[in-house]
């Protein structure tokens, strides 16, 4: 399956953007291969997780396939995107160093940052309470002991030499309605 003009939903694409998609045929994407519940490759190499559900909608809306480049690590995905082997990173936070290579769409996922600790630690409601403590990111189910006033705002990182693609993906993100969003997050 390649570009299918008849499948484009009404996201107000310009004639230039429609022509761009027709000529492009597919969008190459790199993902984080191990970042659940957001995304990963399953045992058969399929893209699964919350972002996979979003990209099914994006693909249907634009009538174009997202071709996923298989990688083993996030660093490998990032390098492939920097080297233009991927047009986009499926889900990424804007950082100053990434701005050298990518433009970013509006966020389509907002993730609250929470603190998880051993079961015997009391609730923490202020970042000052842990300022002299070691903090890390870990795997395994711990107790949520605090919610910080910070969120990760995650959007699509788009190679910064392709403004048409950035504009198209921005429009497709804006076209997702709240009801659809809630369906994705609840599954």
Per-residue pLDDT reduced to its tens digit, 51-92: 999 999 999 999 999 999 999 999 999 999 999 999 999 999
The pLDDT of residue 20: 97
Are 1 and 161 in contact, with CB atoms under 8 Å apart? no
The pLDDT of residue 119: 74
- Cα 69 to Cα 15, 38, 83, 95, distances in angstroms: 29, 17, 13, 23
């Amino acid at each position: 399956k390649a570009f299918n003009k008849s499948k484009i939903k009404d996201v107000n694409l310009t004639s230039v953007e429609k022509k761009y998609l027709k000529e492009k045929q597919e969008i190459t994407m790199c993902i984080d291969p191990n970042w659940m519940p957001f995304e990963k490759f399953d045992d058969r190499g399929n893209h699964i997780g919350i972002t996979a559900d979003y990209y099914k909608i994006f693909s249907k809306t634009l009538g174009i396939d997202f071709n996923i480049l298989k990688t083993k690590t996030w660093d490998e995905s990032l390098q492939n995107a920097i080297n233009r082997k991927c047009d986009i990173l499926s889900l990424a936070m804007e950082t100053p160093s990434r701005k050298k290579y990518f433009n970013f769409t509006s966020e389509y996922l907002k993730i609250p940052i929470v603190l998880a600790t051993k079961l015997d630690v009391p609730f923490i409601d202020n970042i000052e309470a842990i300022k002299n403590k070691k903090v890390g990111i870990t795997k395994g189910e711990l107790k949520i002991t605090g919610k910080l006033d910070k969120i990760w705002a995650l959007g699509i990182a788009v190679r910064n030499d392709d403004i048409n693609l950035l504009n198209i993906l921005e429009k497709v993100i804006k076209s997702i309605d709240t009801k659809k969003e809630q369906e994705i997050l609840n599954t």
